[in-house]
Structure 1
């Protein structure tokens, strides 16, 4: 399956991190989600009910980012990926969480974690 829906650059403020100040002050996180599914039914019907509504998906992902804090962005990425694959039409997801304000004492361009779940082309067929 090579059809996909991509939602990139979804920004929300969360209170995730291992340090007290990260939990207290919060910071922005950026989410990229690429969902793999068959888009033919939606294309044929021209009905949003036959696909993943990316606006509603964005709402659910933001609720996770702004919700219960976790220490690691790995945990956050796993929760977000699970939300994406909760829809049985989604056969796989590649989900990246960016932490642009990570507490690193050096100049850096990006810190991110990517998880791949389900059937994703180019990822060796199927992932966990």
Structure 2
């Protein structure tokens, strides 16, 4: 059995970007997360200690989003490292970090970086 915990469309105002103005002014970001977690025990026990707290996952992502970076790739990499360090129960992570209205010419709603990584792959 494979099981996931998902936090979809977490919204943040953060200061990521290559340009100085992006880091000063900030922008809106959306983060979606799916972690593959063995929750088999919690299905039987009804105990938070046998799974992963959604609130903890949110807090970890929020803390990383607060730290300005030039690249979304760097933000996503930090989030994945932090989540794997948080719990051995996390087997893999799918993560999408999206910047709304990226500051370049053209009619573009958003720009995203998507990472999917198994614990045993590393990077």
Q: TM-score scaled to structure 2, two decimals?
A: 0.91
**Contact kept in structure 1, 2:102 and 2:108, CA below 8 Å:** no
| 1:85 Cα deviation after fit | 1.6
Query: How do 1:1-128 residues align onto structure 2 when only pairs under 5 Å count?
Result: 2-66=2-66, 68-86=67-85, 87-118=87-118, 127-128=121-122
Distance across 2 between alignment mates of 1:127 and 1:94? 13
Equivalences, count:
121
Answer whether contact 1:29 1:97 (CA < 8 A) is retained.
yes
Q: Secondary structure at the match of 1:105?
A: coil
Runs of 4+ in 1 over 6 A off after TM superposition: none
Unaligned runs of 5+ in 1: 120-125
Structure 2, gaps ≥5 residues long: none
Q: SS of the residue aligned with 2:83?
A: helix
Counterpart-to-counterpart distance in 2, 1:101 and 1:127:
33
